[in-house]
Amino acid sequence: MRSNASIVVACVALLVLCAAIVPSSEPVKLKYPVSWPTPTYNFAANPLTAEGIALGRKLFYDPILSADSIVSCSSCHLSFTAFTHVDHAVSHGVGDSIGTRNSLALMNLAWSKRFMWDGAVNHLDMQALAPINHPDELGETTAHVVAKLQRTSTYPLLFEKVFGDATITGERFLKALSQFELTLVSANSKYDRVMLKAEAFTEQEANGYALFKTNCNACHQEPLFTTGEFANNGLPIDSVFNDFGRMLITKDPEDSLKFKIPTLRNIEFSFPYMHDGRFKSLRNVLDHYGEGIQHGPTLAPELQKGLALTKNQRTDIVAFLLTLSDREFCFDPNFAYPRE
Amino acid sequence: MKWFPLALFLAFSVLNATAQSLGFVPVLEDEGLQLNKDRLLADGRSLTIETFKFFIGHATLFSRGQIVFHDSAYHLIDATDPESLNILLKATQKLKFDSVSFTLGVDSITSVFGAFGGDLDPTNGMYWTWNSGYINFKLEGTSPVCNTTKNAFNFHLGGYLAPYRSAQVVGLRVPSQNEVTIGIDLSKFFLEVDLAKDHTIMSPSARAVELSSILARSFHIVK
């Protein structure tokens, strides 16, 4: 009897070992230009797999994430417009409730250090918690979303393929969403092809690029077109939203009126502009940097004198900014609604 | 069958491991804490505690100042879940120790690492969604002295960024034995807090840090 018992124990131990060794899905390596910096996302803690990315994509487009089963992540982050809510100053969620900020375009998230306009979220995995639990966005609780997913006939099997068993947890749900979001790499604009010497700027675009490098590049740094930091870009405070930006998170007066410096990639598609969507066109934005700067103790040092740009120079900069559009990214079938 | 000896060895190691337990006992004015039961405090205030949850992590055992055991895991202690009140530290041998330390709350490195499962899973109601970070300590209830909706008090203490880092390190001397029982006496907390004015904390703040440090001093060895 004794030896039988030890054989049983040994077999169990062996099974445990095998389960740990056998890979459950197909590994994927994130593709990005060799000249780019190393991503900040820790892929070792959430290794990309084909199955994980597909699951994240399904979740991204599934309104089961919302209280009314109508709103999904993609409602405010549309693939065709670089994953933002185009033509809405601020975004809206369940029951037509209106938020207070303009949804950010989603791309190159593996390089982002802090998320949301005020940097409230410290990690891509944790970002989805904010809109899911916000009463004016998806209006749900994460625990309830996870319970709903577990009750479906499809999701437990998909989670099993990615994570080895059919139990859906908050961690697995968030990591799957991250996997899809991490693949949203935009690096194939005309600008990128010019940098690779595969294409050339027009004279106007080249002028715009030169002006960009002297006037804008300090904050909208290449190749990601953002430093990932926060700055007060001289917008007068909106009297309706009364939004002090990053200070609401850090409670530090030095962060008053500072907002995330957004990437300028695909800026053509992500109108209107600024955290509250107050500017309808890129021209409005450049006019703000020319004559609209409001001075204050936290104003970005680069903007103390405004940007002295002639009308023609502004037109040239806009022409350059349009070279940051990546149509292949916006119409990539791997990023669109997953038809089964 | 070349795996067989290894498997046997592993199985033997598991069976041979010794568990050191750390038990937590919530106390209020020398009585065991009971949830959802009205209590009259010595100073005449009455209150009902409905939620009492907190994280402890990095349980470490010392002998004469030297670390003899460290468990980097976090554990969610929840007064509604008796099993959670007892933490098993899996040591490979029987340990002799004279003191124990742990963090009350989740440290900054863990707070920025991304999603975790188990006790740290963000579905456990101990993670802020609008502003990343764990709620290190959650105490909710009602008291007639609270001039709030439904007389509720809500203390959600957390924050991992300077100057509002609220995680605390607790160190206690213990008699060397297998079972360590640690009391956390909420009396000190309620002595400090004037519930009529001080009843709601739901974001990182200086007050959250102060109250966390009072709570850290409320732990004591029962046996």
pLDDT in tens, B158-182: 999 999 999 999 999 998 667 899 9
A97-116 pLDDT tens trace: 788 888 899 999 999 999 99
- With cut-offs at 50, 70 and 90, classify the pLDDT of residue A4: low
Q: Supply the mean pLDDT for chain B.
A: 90
- Quick one: pLDDT band at residue A281, thresholds 50, 70, 90? very high
- HEC string of chain B equals CCCHHHHHHHHHHHHHCEEEEEEEEEEECCEECCCCCEEECCCCCEEEEEEEEEEEEEEEEEECCEEEEEEEEEEEEECCCHHHHEEEEEECCCCCCCEEEEEECCCHHHHCCCCCCHHHCHHHCCECCCCCCEEEEEEEEECCCCCCHHHEEEEEEECCCCCCCCCEEEEEECCCCCEEEEEEECHHHHHHCCCCCCCEECCCCHHHHHHHHHHHCCEEECC
Give me the count of residues in chain B. 223
Highest mean pLDDT pick, A30-44, A230-244, B79-93, B176-190: A30-44
In chain B, the N- to C-terminal Cα span, in Å, equals 49
Q: Which positions in chain A touch B112 (Cβ < 8 Å)? A: 122-123
Inter-chain residue contact A13 with B7, CB threshold 8 Å: yes
Is B109 an 8 Å CB contact of chain A? no
Interchain proximity B7–A124, CB inside 8 Å: no
pLDDT for A274 beyond 60: yes
The answer, yes or no, to whether residue A18 has pLDDT greater than 70, is no
Question: Are the Cβ atoms of A175 and B115 closer than 8 angstroms?
Answer: yes
Q: Is the pLDDT of residue A64 over 70?
A: yes
DSSP assignment, residue A153?
S
Q: Do B130 and A250 touch (CB under 8 A)?
A: no
Q: Which of B7, B132, B205 sits opposite A126 (nearest CB)?
A: B132
| Residue written as token pair 């417009």 | A81
pLDDT of residue A24: 58
pLDDT tier, A26 (very low <50, low <70, confident <90, very high otherwise) = confident
pLDDT at B6: 53
Tell me how far apart the alpha carbons of residues A290 and B217 are, in angstroms, rounded to a whole number.
Answer: 57
User: Is some CB atom of chain A closer than 8 A to the CB atom of B173?
Assistant: no
Put simply, whether A15 touches B (Cβ < 8 Å) is no
pLDDT band of B57, cuts 50, 70, 90:
very high
Rounded alpha-carbon distances, angstroms, from residue B199 to B42, B113, B141, B155, B193: 19, 31, 10, 7, 8
Residues of B in contact with A122 (CB under 8 A): 111-112, 132-133
Report yes or no: B76 and B126 within 8 Å, Cβ to Cβ. Answer: yes
Contact B123 A143 (CB under 8 A): yes
**pLDDT at residue A13 above 70?**
no
Tokens of B78: 């929840």
CA atoms within 13 A on the CB side of A210: 7
CB A194 within 8 A of CB A319: no
Residues A125/A175, Cβ–Cβ less than 8 Å: yes
Say what angle helices A142-151 and A155-163 make with each other, to 10 degrees.
100
Test mutation, A100, A129, A163, chain B, max B CBs within 10 A: A129
Distance from CA of A292 to the nearest CA of B (A): 31
**Lookup: tokens for A313:** 């120079």
CA distance linking residue B47 with residue B41, whole number of Å: 8
pLDDT of A36 strictly over 60? yes
Give the pLDDT score at A19.
46
* Per-residue pLDDT at B12: 47
Nearest by CB to A174, which of B7, B115, B131?
A: B115
The mean pLDDT of chain A is 91
Asked if A129 lies within 8 A of B11 by C-beta distance, the reply is: no
Predicted TM-score (pTM) of this structure: 0.89
Mean pLDDT of the A284-313 span:
96
Q: What is the dihedral of CA A178, A181, A185, A186, to 10 degrees?
A: -150
The verdict on A57 touching B (C-beta cutoff 8 Å) is no
Cβ of B129 and A143 within 8 Å?
no
Question: How far is the alpha carbon of B28 from chain A, nearest alpha carbon, in Å?
Answer: 31
Q: Which among B113, B119, B121 is the top mutation candidate for probing chain A, defined by the most A β-carbons within 10 Å of its own β-carbon?
A: B121
Q: Is the per-residue pLDDT at A152 higher than 60?
A: yes
Sequence-distant (≥ 6) Cβ neighbours of residue A39 within 8 angstroms: A30, A32, A110, A111
Look up residue A43 and give its two tokens: 């892929």
State mean pLDDT over A199-222.
Answer: 97
The minimum CA-CA distance between A175 and chain B, rounded to whole Å, is 7
The model's confidence at residue B153, banded by pLDDT at 50, 70 and 90, is: very high
What confidence category does residue B214 fall into, taking pLDDT thresholds of 50, 70 and 90? very high
Q: What number is the average pLDDT over the span B40-68? A: 94
Please report, as a single letter, which amino acid is at residue A204. Q
Neighbours of A275 (CB within 10 A): 22
Is the pLDDT assigned to residue B190 strictly greater than 70?
Answer: yes
**Rounded CA separation A268/A270 (Å):** 6
Q: Which residues on B lie below 8 Å from A124 (Cβ)?
A: 114
Helix or strand or coil: residue A113? Answer: coil
B7 touches chain A (CB under 8 A): yes
Q: What b-and-e string marks burial along B79-107, b requiring 16 or more CB atoms within 10 Å of the CB? A: beeeeebebebebeeeeebebbebbbbbb
| Element containing residue A149 per DSSP (H, E) | helix A142-151
Between B1 and A63, whose confidence is greater? A63
Is B17 in CB contact (< 8 Å) with chain A? no
